[in-house]
Structure 1
């Protein structure tokens, strides 16, 4: 059916005659005509009418399936189960947690004591009820973030989003009174970046006057806002450039257990390169660290920096992927002349996963061939470090949670595909780890096994992947199999326990595959950089190579193989659908990027040019995406899999426009598809538990229809 809202128009590329470049610059191929620009108007009546019409068709088709009701009920029960592990944070001398269940769809922020948290049934006190707040104020509030002034951690700024978008309003909250502060800090809706400087001052990056935003919609000016001061009177601290790339300037700070602090501003140049400026007694000065390096912590006056590129300074060279330390006094005195010291460096199959600090110690989670490790590093008197590896189960994902600034206690999360998540508490100083809570099994894992295998990509590189399946599956290609990956932004995908995946897919006989393709961070910066910009095809080749390995080993077959990815992973599955239509029967494209020629014009797309390149300035990048962009490479008459395309109206990160336009072009060509756009939820599955359960059930119903039937 052709929607009455779809404009009939040719989709042929404009004549591919190279344009002469100015002053001898390389020629730029013209961009194709685009008949669906009107769908980029995110909330226009015309666009929303199109969304409503297509949502109705998809919901009717999928909710009519007899499996949908059961899948929805199971997803809702899992999402709101009261025996989930409440993820804890050390804050204000207590343990805080944000919690959602069937009685609190938008959630409550609550607290208890550490002793009470250790028990099976902690005594919680509600601090802030988001459902009640939204009802009282007539808003669809979603709790986004909270930042509290250290060391007392009494005063906090709470970020609330209307419907789940990235833009937030910010209000000051007093943990002692349990109320918003009358006349306190209060910022209107925007993509703010905030850091406490002291009790009476915030460092804020914001849109101070209309238009104070970069092309990707992020702030580039940092000001110091005093308590009681009008926004117009805030004092400028740092100004980036209006044409800066990346995610906009951000103020930040690190603090050690002795109360010493370092304040700084990060100015992105593109997605991955940035300048770091520190606040010194003389003003803001540039810190002489590489443009792919980050201040991540401070311990005993040592500023901890993670390196995503090689650093040569002070007569020493430190390779990419390492962690180094800088002396705080030297940073404040001479930020342009540094003498780093080595803290940690990776082996050939290692990667840094995350960094935390407690009162006196540095805590690193790392990956060893995609297996989690937890390290405790203690500063030594000679400027070095002593390292202890915590004794934890092998072949699992390991990550530090909240660490206490006032002690050396920290939380650890441990899980695997078939191992229910456990929350541990570590006394890092003593090297002692105790299990606090273990999630009850949420699906029947009897007879399921996990394997780690590798596939050979097109350039001969071995690509590791995990596969979860029934031990006794027939190696005849009949197993319904769901393959997932991310492949971008140096994001590592590791084994984790997913109640929804287990209950709704694995328990019903499906297999699940997680591919650690290039573009991710599983093997450090080089693994990511191998697929940057116009080298990106190797990421897509890696993914297809894993699929072919599954087929060659008769785990599955194209008839029973489906793929799923979200955001950059949605671009991945969109490309795979276009490039390899015969490899899959189901393709799930979640909150995706699909129009890679107009990406800089949609939502926050201009901030990712460090990952994807700039089609408006680089002829090679434009040529690559002209042949690779999913939206532009759909072809009439090709037998593509019928995809499930999901997005949300409130997604101000990737935007719903990509998904809408892709579906509209498929419809124009007479190609079948499912399209569903949740009207809330931001860059995710829903703003509350019922919305999330509905979207998960729709997706799983689609997968069962395509791969099981």
Structure 2
């Protein structure tokens, strides 16, 4: 751990009896609400009274509400394109469609399918759209997921895209963290947590049922039941390009990364099938079932596959005999990672990254030969919508200084053409992107990107924001952020992204190197990047700030409590913080596969070594931090952020705390709230990193 900040001598919050802030884990109560209101008043008063706040807010809002964005689309069976869109007039968003010909014009003509602002107003509800599942092959009837204020839990209602109305007397499932899949128009496969008896300890469903139209939930026939200690169970149908159901699967998630897979038989019994516990089905293309593995795995045929491999079976042959030979599709190299897999009618489309730079390859299932799509290099690429009727697909391209663009092409040939591109949202003149490597404590080379002015002085004076996440195999890939560029880069800031272990930048092994007892490696990677930035003269402690959310919020807490001597600001977003109780709060139990189980002594010991809440100290040189969360976050409990702020204040440290009463885990119930969050963050960073220490003190920080 850090040499500067020993853990507090007295055991704090190692048991419920020694945690004075357990009451802040009540999502809402009179006492909690009053505490939140007081903290919000102080923090908003401090930051919104800064003369720069309003300008930053307006700039962020203008970018977020701009119509000058590429509308991401999904290709429908009839060739039309659908899109979900938010702007100044539609802060909750609209679901709409257009034709391919119209989309390819400068000003497409859109037809509204469903207006969520109008729906919320008509029903007096704070609806946030969470997606739709439409019945193949026609796609007319859809199950719409609606969240109250942005929570993960949703209400599901049946909608008719032809009449543009919710189906009268149709399917209407109450709020739950649920999963639903169509079997046919009158039959659903549901994993629904509708009462305490049907929940796992993670708060997700532990049963899969078949629900017939007109039945109540308790009349649905149960086809599978998992254990309470499982993360979740779910079911889904596997359909071919024509929408025909080829098999129905049940998946039992034992933890976040390991699952058992079953096929649902005609008599509603299930049969477990041999697949990697860490890995699963990615696509069905031209009769081939494509599977990835995140562990070394031996197939029933005796074939062995390495972590990260992609392989395929002839589906009909595999359904008849699970010991048939598989075909190797792709075996990524040491510094390669598969970031996306999708299928057109006749081709497999793979986003493959090498040293955190993206490309797209299309594979022919006949022999798995591949062709590289003609896309720009040294950027992030993403697979967009693919067509089940032909080999058309979209691909997105962006970089830190490269505004987003959309390409359209033919997977059969790999030929792509620019469809749409955006003008810049900020002035990138004179800005450059560099990639460096830091040496972590154990000698591992950790890549990171630096976005800066080409003439930035290398004397340690640059205000620098270091961003990290470092978990759940989530890769931080080059991407264009208009708000970050406008509110930070344009004003002289440097932006740095650390590609630490725990992420997926180099595939499953890069992630697994920082799992559970090895979590500290990721923290050391992040610290190594900070040290390297300082060593290179890019920045120095008075000008270095850090930012991260969720798992990244835990990352920030670890940096704060282990190496506060390196930083002068920390934006800690919707964080995990009390890691001795994370598994008891909301969806926390589902993450024990990532962190370990605090109820097991050996695992609790390694978690306690870095859990930020318990390590906070009165004597450590913490900068004033900015912590924010959301009351409606039903994934990471707001109690983590509240308890962190309360403990810091108790120990005599300065802290700004803000809690949005809507918005869910992504804090994005509407665009104005998103703009406010951004303006608060960059006002805080300006005060801490750009202002001189004298002017910062004058502002009361």
Question: Distance between the aligned counterparts of 2:361 and 2:12, measured in 1?
Answer: 56
Choose from 625, 628, 639 the match for 2:607. Answer: 625
TM superposition shift of 1:628:
1.1
Choose from 225, 228, 234 the match for 1:239. Answer: 225
Choose from 225, 237, 255 the match for 1:253. Answer: 237
Q: Is the 1:678–1:686 Cα contact (8 Å) retained in structure 2?
A: no
Give CA-to-partner distance per residue, 1:501-548, whole Å, 9 cap, x none: 100000111000111100011111110111000111110000000111
Question: Distance between the aligned counterparts of 1:263 and 1:581, measured in 2?
Answer: 52
1:485 pairs with 2:471: no
TM superposition shift of 1:328:
1.6
TM-score normalised by the chain length of structure 2:
0.95
1:133 pairs with 2:115: no
Paired position in structure 2 for 1:543: 526
Choose from 640, 644, 652 the match for 2:634. Answer: 652
> Which ranges of structure 2 fall in alignment gaps of 5 or more residues?
1-7, 692-701
1:280 pairs with 2:256: no
Choose from 431, 438, 445 the match for 1:462. Answer: 445
> Which ranges of structure 1 fall in alignment gaps of 5 or more residues?
1-9, 16-28
TM superposition shift of 1:310:
1.3
1:529 pairs with 2:515: no
Question: Distance between the aligned counterparts of 1:612 and 1:216, measured in 2?
Answer: 14
Q: Is the 2:578–2:613 Cα contact (8 Å) retained in structure 1?
A: yes
Choose from 686, 690, 698 the match for 1:708. Answer: 690
1:614 pairs with 2:600: no
Choose from 650, 654, 662 the match for 1:668. Answer: 650
Q: Is the 1:11–1:34 Cα contact (8 Å) retained in structure 2?
A: no
Please, what is the CA RMSD of the aligned residues? 1.5
Question: Distance between the aligned counterparts of 1:253 and 1:423, measured in 2?
Answer: 30
Question: Distance between the aligned counterparts of 1:500 and 1:98, measured in 2?
Answer: 21
Question: Distance between the aligned counterparts of 2:415 and 2:190, measured in 1?
Answer: 39
Question: Distance between the aligned counterparts of 1:415 and 1:14, measured in 2?
Answer: 46
TM superposition shift of 1:196:
0.9
Question: Distance between the aligned counterparts of 1:211 and 1:660, measured in 2?
Answer: 30
Question: Distance between the aligned counterparts of 1:450 and 1:663, measured in 2?
Answer: 35
Question: Distance between the aligned counterparts of 1:570 and 1:338, measured in 2?
Answer: 46
TM superposition shift of 1:332:
2.7
Q: Is the 2:461–2:539 Cα contact (8 Å) retained in structure 1?
A: yes
After TM superposition, list the pairs within 5 Å mapping 1:219-234 onto structure 2.
219-234=205-220
Question: Distance between the aligned counterparts of 2:409 and 2:180, measured in 1?
Answer: 30
Paired position in structure 2 for 1:640: 622
Question: Distance between the aligned counterparts of 2:9 and 2:585, measured in 1?
Answer: 20
Q: Is the 2:596–2:607 Cα contact (8 Å) retained in structure 1?
A: no
Question: Where does structure 1 differ by over 3 angstroms across 4 or more consecutive aligned residues?
Answer: 29-32, 280-283
Between 87-96 and 385-394, the greater mean CA deviation after superposition: 87-96
Residue 11 and residue 64 in structure 1: after superposition, are their counterparts in 2 closer, same or farther (change >3 A)? farther
TM superposition shift of 1:690:
0.6
TM-score normalised by the chain length of structure 1:
0.94
Question: Distance between the aligned counterparts of 2:192 and 2:321, measured in 1?
Answer: 29
Between 621-630 and 483-492, the greater mean CA deviation after superposition: 621-630
Question: Distance between the aligned counterparts of 1:226 and 1:408, measured in 2?
Answer: 35
Question: Distance between the aligned counterparts of 1:449 and 1:32, measured in 2?
Answer: 53
Aligned residue pairs: how many? 680
Q: Is the 1:491–1:521 Cα contact (8 Å) retained in structure 2?
A: yes
What is the SS of the residue equivalent to 2:52? helix
Choose from 154, 160, 166 the match for 1:168. Answer: 154
What is the SS of the residue equivalent to 2:665? coil
Paired position in structure 2 for 1:568: 551
Q: Is the 1:13–1:32 Cα contact (8 Å) retained in structure 2?
A: no
What is the SS of the residue equivalent to 2:86? strand
Choose from 687, 690, 695 the match for 2:677. Answer: 695
TM superposition shift of 1:14:
6.8
1:316 pairs with 2:298: no
After TM superposition, list the pairs within 5 Å mapping 1:365-514 onto structure 2.
365-380=351-366, 384-514=367-497
Residue 475 and residue 412 in structure 1: after superposition, are their counterparts in 2 closer, same or farther (change >3 A)? same
Q: Is the 1:571–1:593 Cα contact (8 Å) retained in structure 2?
A: yes
TM superposition shift of 1:252:
2.1
Q: Is the 2:77–2:388 Cα contact (8 Å) retained in structure 1?
A: no
Question: Distance between the aligned counterparts of 1:48 and 1:536, measured in 2?
Answer: 34
1:85 pairs with 2:70: yes
